[in-house]
Amino acid sequence: MYAVIENGGKQYRVTQGDTVDFETLDGEVGAKVELGRVLALVDGASVTTGNAAGTAKVTGTITMNDRGKKTLVFKFKRKKQYKRTIGHRQNFTRVKIDEISA
């Protein structure tokens, strides 16, 4: 069984036991969290979407709060001697999926 959930404006396909990185969630390491809206629920050959899937719940445990790899942003305009380098590290929360309940 797997579910498609929406969290932080992105969609994720999750199954029980998966470890997924989400945008920063409130909570300490070890806390139980209920993840975003369920868009689809697939159990074998049956597929549930819409309002029926909206009643399903996906819960998980926060395993880590951290920052991702550094992304470099380089701006350049030729013939104008303009160069700018900016670095960015996005915060994330790693969650282990405990249960998908229909």
76-92 confidence digits (pLDDT tens):
999 999 999 999 999 99
| Burial of residue 39 (number of CB atoms within 10 Å: 0-12, 13-18, 19+) | middle
Residue 67 burial (CB count, 10 A): 11
% of the chain beyond a pLDDT of 70: 100
The β-bridge partners of 42 are 2, 47
Question: 51-55, 57-61, 66-70, 86-90 — which is least confidently predicted?
Answer: 51-55
**Would you state the pLDDT for residue 52?**
78
Integer-rounded Cα radius of gyration of the chain:
19
- Give the chain's domain count: 1
Q: What is the pLDDT of residue 43?
A: 87
pTM of the model: 0.81
Distance CA 30, CA 45 (A): 34
Q: Domain containing 31: what range?
A: 2-101
